[in-house]
Amino acid sequence: MNSNKKNSVYKKNISNTLIIVFISFDIIFFNMILGLFNKATHSGPLLLFVGFLTVSILASPIQAGFSDYLGRKKSLIISISVTLICLFILLFINSSSLPLFTILATIALLKGLFGNTIPIAWGAIGDIDRKNERFFFAISEAAYAIGFLLILLFNLVLSSNSLIFILILAFVVQIYFCVKYFIDPKDFDKNKYEGEEDKNLDNKKNREKEEHFIKHLAREPKLIFQDLKKRTLRLICLSFIFLEISLYIILILYTDFPGLNSLVPILMMAGYLLGSGMMKFCKKISNKDMIRFGFILSVFPLLIYVILYLIFKDNTYILISSYFIHSIGNAILSPTILAEIGTGLKPHQKGKRYGLLDSSDAIALLAASLLIIEYQKYHITIIYMVIFSLLMITSGWIIYHKYDSLMYKNRKNRQ
């Protein structure tokens, strides 16, 4: 009995570790492909970027939702394999007679449609360990920061071709480990599922035979729209969009524009890692209290910066400190909202929800990027970008409060 329990814990730890690796390298690929978009034709970068994110926004909930039916393991193998195919296409980009724009558009379409690894990985976390899922979501969010810091390092020491070769090797290894060691969460404790499965085992098998693969996939958009009819789900997704815009707008600005202080994005990622680590010691605190704490850490440092901006001329270090603390708050908010959005759902029913949050994240990235284009066009000063960031996170807090009030009202009506 103890041996089986230890084996189950061992399998969970391996799978959780693999999930972190999958997310980190997916972020590295994402940042690399965005850099390649900038090498396209004059109007190409924006068109490719908007097209890529739009396809991902639409496809992510469908692919993640379908993983509820297909299983996380098979879905992860498909998604990681598609990313690997994209890397092989990039390998021959210089020797191809096709225009660069066409090749990058093909990669964007493939990755956007079939390569949505992150929401599937979130679904696996939600299935694996529901008692500690908020902490594991925090670790998965830390993988964002790890991937971001690694791409900064790789860009300094590696050529683009060398990076592609390394990533190809990394994704081949990931597929091998996923096939060999990643166990679909429903297999961790088969006894947990046997009670409900044995009752209607024959009926279930018959239904599975009758239900065509394509037909089930075609149902996913309809199921997603049905889910979005719930006001509480729309509110929490909207809150997530605003809090992510607040982070992205400064992170992208200080990462992509030369001449701005490079310490800002590095310390933002350090703050994100610190915030993710803090979640280890907050297991007994409710989602509601953690979200309130996260918003306080995210809002007040920016408010203090805006006030001090009027007093101090040299406010660089105040800005760095403010967004360091802001990132800690964001690192608390994101995993807690991931845990909150799956509350009350059974294992292998959460994919659509995580896909919708992933789409919300992509919407936030798109909105922040378009605003930064306006920053470049009209030479907007940093203080106005910080004020906008403050308005976004404050709006996210207000919207979350509406969500929480509605959830409380719904619970009261059910009693």
What residue segments make up the domains of the chain, in order of their start? 8-183, 229-415
Could you give the CA distance from residue 284 to residue 393 in angstroms, rounded to a whole number? Answer: 25
Region 245-251: what's the mean pLDDT?
A: 95
Could you give the CA distance from residue 142 to residue 132 in angstroms, rounded to a whole number? Answer: 16
| Domain 229-415 CATH assignment equals 1.10.10.60 | no
For residue 218, name the pLDDT band (cuts at 50, 70, 90). confident
- What mean pLDDT value characterizes the chain? 86
Region 298-308: what's the mean pLDDT?
A: 95
Could you give the CA distance from residue 415 to residue 406 in angstroms, rounded to a whole number? Answer: 15
- pLDDT for the residue numbered 92: 80
Instruction: Choose between 271 and 312: higher pLDDT.
Output: 271
How many Cβ atoms from other residues are within 10 Å of residue 303's Cβ? 15
- pLDDT for the residue numbered 200: 45
Tokens for 50?
């908007």
Least Cα distance to 404 among 258, 288, 298 occurs for: 288
For residue 8, name the pLDDT band (cuts at 50, 70, 90). low
Q: Is 96 helix (H, G, I), strand (E, B) or coil?
A: coil
Q: Identify the architecture of domain 8-183 in CATH.
A: Up-down Bundle (1.20)
Residue 60 buriedness (CB in 10 A; 0-12 / 13-18 / 19+): buried
pLDDT tens readout for residues 35-91: 787 766 566 778 889 999 999 999 999 999 999 888 899 999 999 999 999 999 988
| pLDDT over 60 at 211, yes or no | no
Region 218-235: what's the mean pLDDT?
A: 89
Tokens for 285?
């605190």
User: Are 59 and 116 in contact, with CB atoms under 8 Å apart?
Assistant: yes
Region 257-283: what's the mean pLDDT?
A: 88
Q: Which of 36-50, 101-115, 147-161, 215-229 has the lowest mean pLDDT?
A: 36-50
User: Are 68 and 349 in contact, with CB atoms under 8 Å apart?
Assistant: yes
One fold for 8-183 and 229-415: yes
Q: Which of 205-209, 220-224, 244-248, 341-345 has the lowest mean pLDDT?
A: 205-209
For residue 32, name the pLDDT band (cuts at 50, 70, 90). confident
